[in-house]
Structures are given as structure tokens and as C-alpha cells.
Amino acid sequence: MLAIQRMEPECSSSPSSTEWMPELTENCAVCGDRVNSCRLGPPACLGCIVFFRRSIIHSSKYRCLRGESCLINYEFRSSCRYCRLQKCFQTGMKQSAVRRRDCIGPRRPSPCSSDPPVLYPETDVQFIDRLIRIQTRQFEEHKKQSVVKSRRATVSDVNRMFKWSINNALEWASQFDPFQKLANEAQKCVLSEYGFSFFLIDQGFRTKCEKASGYWMLQNGTYLHSDYYYGQTDDVMETDYNTVRSHFEFVKGLQIAIQKPFESLDIDMFEMAALKSLLLVSREFSSYFFFTSTIFNFPASFPKPNIFSDYQERMEALKERCSYELMEYLSSKYTDTFVERFGALIIILGEIRTAVKLVYNQTKVSDLFDSKKFDPYVRSFFLS
Ligand SMILES: [Zn+2]
Ligand SMILES: [Zn+2]
């Protein structure tokens, strides 16, 4: 087990804040955007932190084309890298803070401690990179066990996909030490929601990759089609109108909420891994809940109370690390649009949480998702 030490609070952020980013009153000293942290000295937004860090690590040499006095604000911060870097230095960002951080992980360098706590034993491996290896292996496993010829999914396919998702989610969550420390029952509780996010994310990704327009692909290569009867064999039983209609709405809902953004962003393996991680470590188990629970009558125990309340600071730190690595990855791949792309991914997080509730709802009305027909292991995750 890793030895975990407390993270120091960033600036004045309140640990109880449920906002995506810590809520701070100050603005980024460089560009005026919303402050992410003071880890490099002055309060700064994530964009400027990433920019400064990359510049230092790569020893970037920039040139100004306009007399070295460009205005750097939120709108123009990307227009001159030379002047932006100068402004970073002027506001007090320190090269040493970057170097230090690289050795100890994402935390504010603490001037009073000569022996900084180690966040991860393997300092040279980025957290999300390690998770991508797990993801790649899980996807290869799915491919190996896929049907040879795609066909309409049956209830036993759906059952099996839940099992895969729960097991994949368990392996994933086990990479996060607060999860490991939970009692079995609590872990199960987390998985009953988290496993269902895997169900949706992995299927959304497969659907995107196969460019299967009109289909919603399951991990094993079977599909759901919004037309309930599509691809059914001749010996179909009569199905009542409500089932057919709710099936249509369910599949369309997934296509709009997940498939469409996955396709339009052409989401990649790194972003997938980041989304899965952020889903676990960010606690906002849905502002939609009240709304949907009223309509669909979810059991009162859903969503779960904050199971990680004992490890809140550690979860905050993990959230910061994951969002930081994501932002840094995006900044190298999408030089001009990475901030917008980051925002778009965060919106997808919310969509996934909402869609998990659609899945629960579907188990009440659909023969394909009829939990009574699932095996006891999978069924136990619906009841917990
Ligand atoms: Zn900034
Ligand atoms: Zn300039």
C-alpha cells in the first residue's frame, strides 16, 4: 500500500468545495482567467500553469514579432508565447517550482519542508499513461471475445457486458488508493455506479471507432439499434408498444449524449482514460439527480452518499493530478484549442452521469435490460 500524506490546500480553496475547480476569488496573475492553483507561486489558471511548465521543461525559445510588449489577457494569451512567458516570470513564476514538481508529482512546493512527500513511487511514469496500458489490454480482451459477425444484442450479451464493465471498472478503480482502502460493501457501492459508466464509455468508444452510424455497439461487437425490431430473427415474440418506444428513446439518448460528442471530438485513448479517472475522483454525483429521481422513481439510496468522505483531500489531489495531465496532454496535441477541448470533455462527464441513470431506468422497462434475467453477480450490483 502506498504511504499517503496530506496534500496542502491550494491557495485559499475550500476543501468542501464541490465545484469542478477550486473556487478562488483571485484571477490568474498572467491572463485573468479563473485560478486553478498557486503551485508555481502566483495564482494562475490551468492554461498558464501548463504553458509555463511546458516552456521550462522543453527550454522553449520563443520570439515576439511585435516589439516584446504584447498585451496578455484571457483573450490574447495565446497570441504571443514570448510575451506570455515573460509575463509568467514577471508575476513570479519560478523555474525551480517546475523542476521540483516533476520530482514529486502535482503539489505545491512547500518551502518549509525539506523532505517533500512522495505522491507516486514511480515518478517518471505519468498516472494516466499507466492507466492507458490497462485500457489497451481491456480493449484487446474485448476484441478477442467479440462475436465474429455483428448482430443484435440479446439479454445475455447485455448481462455479459455489465459483467465486463464491472470487472474493468474494478481493475481501474483499484489503481486509486482511496478505493483500495474502502470496505468491500463500499467498493461494491461505488462499482454499481462506476461500472455502469464503463458500460457506456467503452460502448460509446467502440461505436465511434467502428463508425457504425445508426447502431450503438456493445463491447463484444453486438449492437442495439433504435428500431427495436431491427435485426431480430423471425421467431420474435410480440413486444408491447411501451417497450419498443422506451428502447427507441434509450438508444437515441445514448447516441445523442455520448456517441455524438465522441465522434465530433474524435476522442482518443488518452482522453478516454482521463474521463474514466475523473468520473471516479470527482464527487459531483450529478446535479441532475433530483430531477431524474423525481421522474423515474429511483430508490432513495441512489446516488450513493459520498463514500470517499474519509479521503476527500486525497481525492481532490487525484482529481487535480488527472485534470492536470489531461490539460497538459491536450496542450501538446491541440495547441490553439486545448482549453475549449478540455471544457468539452468536462461537459461529456456530466452527460455520462446522466446516461448512467438512463441505464438504471432501462432495467425497469426493457426485456434486454431485465435485471431479473442477469446472473446473480451482475444482479447484486443493481440491488446494492
Ligand atoms: Zn492564465
Ligand atoms: Zn509579444
Q: Which ligand is nearest to the CA of 32?
A: 1
Residue 359 C-alpha to ligand 1 middle, in angstroms? 39
> Side chain identity at 171, as an amino acid letter?
E
- Measure the CA–CA gap between 288 and 351, rounded to whole angstroms: 10
Q: What is the pLDDT of residues 74-85, one digit of tens each?
A: 888 888 899 999
- Measure the CA–CA gap between 257 and 322, rounded to whole angstroms: 23
pLDDT at 384 over 60: no
In this prediction, residue 276 carries a pLDDT of 95
What's the pLDDT band for 130 if we cut at 50, 70, 90? Answer: confident
Residue 59 C-alpha to ligand 1 middle, in angstroms? 20
Range 329-351 average pLDDT: 89
Q: What is the pLDDT of residues 63-108, one digit of tens each?
A: 988 889 899 988 888 888 999 999 999 999 988 877 654 444 444 4
Contacts of 46 (CB under 8 A, 6+ apart): 21, 36, 323, 324, 327, 342
* H or E stretch at 216: strand 215-217
Structural domains in the chain, CATH included, are: 1-121 (3.30.50.10), 127-383 (1.10.565.10)
- Measure the CA–CA gap between 267 and 270, rounded to whole angstroms: 8
What's the pLDDT band for 261 if we cut at 50, 70, 90? Answer: very high
Residue 12 C-alpha to ligand 1 middle, in angstroms? 17
Residue 51 C-alpha to ligand 2 middle, in angstroms? 15
Asked if 32 contacts 73 with a C-beta cutoff of 8 angstroms, the reply is yes
Cα 277 to the center of its chain, rounded Å: 5
Portion of the chain with pLDDT greater than 90, in percent: 38
Q: Other CB atoms closer than 10 Å to residue 128's CB: what's the count?
A: 23
- Measure the CA–CA gap between 81 and 86, rounded to whole angstroms: 8
What's the pLDDT band for 213 if we cut at 50, 70, 90? Answer: confident
Which one has a higher pLDDT value, 218 or 40? 218
Residue 27 C-alpha to ligand 1 middle, in angstroms? 8
pTM beyond 0.85: the answer is: no
Q: Which ligand is nearest to the CA of 37?
A: 1
> Side chain identity at 219, as an amino acid letter?
Q
Reported as half-sphere exposure (CB side, CA atoms, 13 A), residue 241 has a value of 0
Which one has a higher pLDDT value, 80 or 305? 80
